[in-house]
Amino acid sequence: MSNVTYLTPEGYEKLKAELQELKTKGRAEVAKAIAEAREKGDLSENAEYDAAKDAQGMLEMRINELERMLASARVLDPDQINTDEVRLLSKVTIKNVANGATMTYTLVSEQEADLKQKRISITSPIGKGLLGKKKGEIAEVETPRGKMKFEIVDISI
């Protein structure tokens, strides 16, 4: 799998804002927690100090991850997306062949997936099954509940 991270313009800005927040406020809060714990005495048996150092490690790990993602990001222009087949950023309406229920999802990168906003990852079972399909085709998707069939009703942006 490639190192490229595909993002919407909104997703890119959201990650950039998170990175800025972590580098400023996040680091300041962790440094303050470490300083407060250090004042409490013996560091070898200071659980607060250990917890603060762990928090610092997790913060720096997330900062590195965000920097890596942003450095390899390709921001996709929705106006350049072809709607002949399901692709990243496609808004696809599908119909469950078994029960007739219809759903509309937008396919996004893993970093932007949010089921509450009906944004599913292209790496999810349904996302993988829909990629490359055209309007009217049936997508067979392997889910934890077994194989499901979805008809592609509409593709838009």
**Under 8 Å between Cβ of 130 and 86:** yes
- Residue 17: which domain range? 5-75
Is the per-residue pLDDT at 33 higher than 80?
yes
Q: Does 1 score more than 60 pLDDT?
A: no
Q: What is the CATH number of the domain that holds 131?
A: 3.10.50.30
If you ran DSSP here, which 8-state letter would residue 3 be given? S
- Whether residue 136 is found in the same domain as residue 92: yes
Please report which confidence band the pLDDT of residue 23 belongs to, taking 50, 70 and 90 as the band edges.
Answer: very high
Task: List, as one string, the DSSP characters of 42-78.
Answer: -GGG-HHHHHHHHHHHHHHHHHHHHHHHHHTEEE--G
Summarize pLDDT for 44-84 with one digit per residue, the tens: 677 888 888 899 999 999 999 999 989 988 888 877 777 88
Same domain, 102 and 117: yes
Q: Half-sphere exposure of 114 toward its Cβ, with a 13 Å CA cutoff?
A: 4
The pair of structure tokens assigned to 30 is: 């962790």
Angle between helices 47-71 and 9-21 (to 10 degrees): 150
Residue after which a domain boundary falls, among 48, 75, 102: 75
Radius of gyration of the chain (CA): 22
Does position 43 have pLDDT exceeding 70, yes or no? Answer: no
Place 88 in a pLDDT band, splitting at 50, 70 and 90.
Answer: confident
- Residue 70, classified by CB atoms within 10 Å of its CB into exposed (0-12), middle (13-18) or buried (19+), is middle
Q: What pLDDT band is residue 103 in, cutting at 50, 70 and 90?
A: very high
59: domain CATH number is 1.10.287.180
- Write down the mean pLDDT value for the chain: 88
Q: 14 with 68, same domain?
A: yes
